[in-house]
Amino acid sequence: MPSRRRALLKVIILGDSGVGKTSLMNQYVNRKFSNQYKATIGADFLTKEVQFEDRLFTLQASIWDTAGQERFQSLGVAFYRGADCCVLVYDVNVMKSFDNLNNWREEFLIQ
Break the chain into its structural domains and give their ranges. 5-110
What pLDDT, on the 0 to 100 scale, is given for residue 1? 52
In the chain, the amino acid numbered 45 is F
**Is the pLDDT higher at 20 or at 57?**
20
Which residues fall within 8 angstroms of residue 85, CB to CB, at 6 or more apart? Answer: 9, 11, 12
Q: How far apart are CA 98 and CA 91, in angstroms?
A: 7
5-110 maps to CATH 3.20.20.70: no
pLDDT at 71 over 60: no
In this structure, the strands spanning 43-52 and 57-66 are: antiparallel
What pLDDT, on the 0 to 100 scale, is given for residue 56? 56
In tens, the pLDDT along 7-28 reads 788 888 888 888 888 888 888 8
When mean pLDDT is compared over 2-6, 46-50, 70-74, the highest value belongs to 46-50
- The mean pLDDT value for 28-46 works out to 68
- The mean pLDDT value for 57-70 works out to 66
pLDDT at 69 over 60: no
- Whether the CB-CB separation of 39 and 19 falls below 8 Å is answered with no
